[in-house]
Amino acid sequence: MTPPLFWVDEVPRAGDTTVLSGPEGRHAVTVTRIGAGETVTLGDGRGTTAECEVIEVGGKDRLTVRVGRVQVHPRPKPLVTVVQALPKAERSDLAVDLMTEAGVDAIVPWQSARTIARWSGVKAVKGVEKWRATAATAAKQARRAWIPEVADLAGTTDVRELAARVAADGGIVALLHEDGAVAFRSLDFAEVPEVLLVVGPEGGLAEAEIADLTALGAVPVVLGPEVLRTVAAGAVALGALGAVTDRWTR
């Protein structure tokens, strides 16, 4: 079984002894119930992890560990960003959780034309903070070395600029759309440096958005015969991408 992962600000060097405390230490002791002699992984969320032996449990929120092997994990290729139109409030975190477990590298929350949920001001700040916390928790659950980056709330102008940049750099910009004329599996991901997946809201992408992004180099694609909810589409596309590229090679 893969050892549980806990986040630290900086991964210690091999051979060091260090203390895991605070919220992560409390979770290790009271929820995961880690004991002396067991193995845990410490990670910084930026690609570095260390296998550690627990040598002492102190109170309800402290583990003393001896650091063993330290590894630096490169990001999978191609880099994958999902532009996610804001789902309804009760489903918002689920989309982030599923995409993180499926391997997304970056997430851009998008206030699209047909988005029902509306973020602005303090609500936008809190919404992004919650997505970042959800991504960190899901990455830990999935034993990922990298926590996905969650950008600030984007408008359509921001998405246009991102799509134009990815296309100009030789990447693929795929609009997940039920009426897409191109099958996702037919895209050639070989040697592509970056993939941008654009997921619309429950009402779908607006025709003006599709025309706008297509003019910048995006391709409307269909994943399969089923119509997916917005919270699942990104994760399903990431799974399909992982199966046809080296992203899932270990």
Enumerate domains of the chain plus CATH numbers: 5-72 (2.40.240.20), 79-244 (3.40.1280.10)
- pLDDT tens for 53-87 read 999 998 888 999 999 999 999 998 899 999 999 99
Is residue 92 pLDDT above 90, yes or no? Answer: no
Pull the structure tokens for residue 178: 């039920």
**91-120: string of b/e by CB count within 10 Å (b at 16+)?**
ebbebbbbbbbbbbbbbbbbbbbebebebe
- pLDDT tens for 108-142 read 999 999 988 889 899 999 999 999 999 999 999 99
Quickly state the pLDDT bin for 249 (edges 50, 70, 90).
low
**What percentage of the chain carries pLDDT values higher than 90?**
79
Is residue 250 pLDDT above 70, yes or no? Answer: no
**pLDDT value of position 244:** 82
**pLDDT value of position 38:** 93
Is residue 190 pLDDT above 90, yes or no? Answer: no
Mean per-residue pLDDT of the chain: 93
| CA dist., res. 237 & res. 82, Å (int) | 10
